[in-house]
Amino acid sequence: MVMVAGNKLIDVHTHLEQYTSKELEAVLNNALNAKIGWIITSGMDLETSTRAVEIASEHTQVLASVGIHPWSAADTQQRDPDQDLYKKLKTLSHHKKVVAIGEVGLDFIDNVSTGVTFHDNSELQKSQQIIFKQYVELACELHIPLIIHARGANRTIISILKDRKTHIAGGIIHNFDGDERQARELLDIGFYLSFGGVITYPDAYQLHDTLRKIPLSGIVTETDSPYIPLYQQTAAKNEPCNINRIVKVIAKLKRMNPERLIEIIHSNFRTLFDISDMESSR
Ligand SMILES: [Zn+2]
């Protein structure tokens, strides 16, 4: 048993399978030393979702989510004509450490890393929406939250979620970049807004402004490790232990005591996810 009971910090969004096994042990140790209590690792396709569940089953403090990332909509196989992928992910989702469906969502901004252009490609936008809606339905059916990637697509995502409002068990908008109005619409339908490395940049004026206006009851924290480096981060890869720096920046923007913020985020996390079984067994 790992002694994590007093650790209150939360990292709601990571991709732990992106580390080598050797790196992962060090990363998880650093996280425990930094008082991170829970980390959610999210799959982006079948392979990474399978690995996410494996990592979660091997580590007490790690929870998993399974899904198809919107970037995969450019890949014909991921469009899943035979529903083979969907069936396999659905089976995986029954694992006791799977607490959400994700990473799913919509991304209408051109992607420099994959070279795929989404913003003016209505066909790709359409296939992203087909995939996204299917996993929204799965989350409704299983009655578990969603972990959503929303880039340049907040309006469409809000309208899809509103349509299923009464059936959705809430969720998280990871790396939220919308405005105050969008934030409030999402809070109204039971979503939490997650803030990570971007908030640590002194020139992220718009995001700072939005964060100041959002109620504390709607905020959670993430690193998106190993991606999204923090301001002046020297290490090549981001890590969950950096949640500490993110919390400090949010507390400063909110003009509050970081310890109180940590308690609130912890309680937001516990409200969204039903993890009492796992809590008592560690
Ligand atoms: Zn991600």
When the pLDDT of each residue in the chain is averaged and rounded to a whole number, the result is 93
34 sits in the region (left: phi over 0; alpha: psi -120 to 50; else beta) called alpha
Q: What does the pLDDT read at residue 4? A: 65
**69 CA from centroid of ligand 1 (Å):** 8
Q: How does 180-219 read in b/e, with b if 16+ C-beta sit within 10 Å?
A: eebbebbbeebbbbbbbbbbbeeebeebbebbeebeeebb
Asked if residues 175 and 228 have their Cβ atoms less than 8 Å apart, the reply is yes
**119 CA from centroid of ligand 1 (Å):** 19
Residues in CB range of 117: below 8 A, 6 or more apart: 110, 111
Q: What does the pLDDT read at residue 168? A: 96
9 residue type, one letter: L
**143 CA from centroid of ligand 1 (Å):** 22
Q: Taking residues 180-209, what's their average pLDDT? A: 97
C-alpha to C-alpha distances, 225 to 18, 86, 243, nearest whole angstrom: 8, 26, 10
Share of the chain above pLDDT 70, in %: 95
What would the two tokens of residue 221 be?
């924290």
Closest Cα to residue 221, out of 274, 173, 277, 187? 173
pLDDT digits (tens, 9 = 90+) for 135-164: 999 999 999 999 999 999 999 999 999 999
pLDDT digits (tens, 9 = 90+) for 83-107: 999 999 999 999 999 999 999 999 9
Q: What does the pLDDT read at residue 234? A: 94
**104 CA from centroid of ligand 1 (Å):** 9
What would the two tokens of residue 73 be?
């909509």
Break the chain into its structural domains and give their ranges.
9-280
pTM of the model: 0.95
- Is residue 192 pLDDT above 90, yes or no? yes
**100 CA from centroid of ligand 1 (Å):** 13
Q: What does the pLDDT read at residue 75? A: 78
Closest Cα to residue 49, out of 103, 129, 128, 107? 103
Question: Binning pLDDT at 50, 70 and 90, where does residue 112 land?
Answer: low
**43 CA from centroid of ligand 1 (Å):** 8
Q: What does the pLDDT read at residue 115? A: 67
Q: What does the pLDDT read at residue 80? A: 83
pLDDT digits (tens, 9 = 90+) for 256-270: 999 999 999 999 999
Q: Which of 112 and 82 is assigned the larger pLDDT?
A: 82
Q: What does the pLDDT read at residue 1? A: 42
9-280: in CATH 3.20.20.140: yes
- The edge-to-edge listing of strands for the beta sheet with 219-221 is 9-14, 36-42, 62-66, 98-107, 146-151, 171-174, 191-195, 219-221
Q: Taking residues 16-30, what's their average pLDDT? A: 97
**175 CA from centroid of ligand 1 (Å):** 8
**233 CA from centroid of ligand 1 (Å):** 18
- Is residue 3 pLDDT above 60, yes or no? no
**224 CA from centroid of ligand 1 (Å):** 5
- Is residue 279 pLDDT above 90, yes or no? no
**107 CA from centroid of ligand 1 (Å):** 12
**174 CA from centroid of ligand 1 (Å):** 7
pLDDT digits (tens, 9 = 90+) for 118-130: 677 888 889 899 9
Question: Binning pLDDT at 50, 70 and 90, where does residue 78 land?
Answer: confident
Residue whose pair of structure tokens reads 């908030």 in the numeric block: 199
**179 CA from centroid of ligand 1 (Å):** 20
**101 CA from centroid of ligand 1 (Å):** 13
Query: Coil, strand, or helix at residue 63?
Result: strand
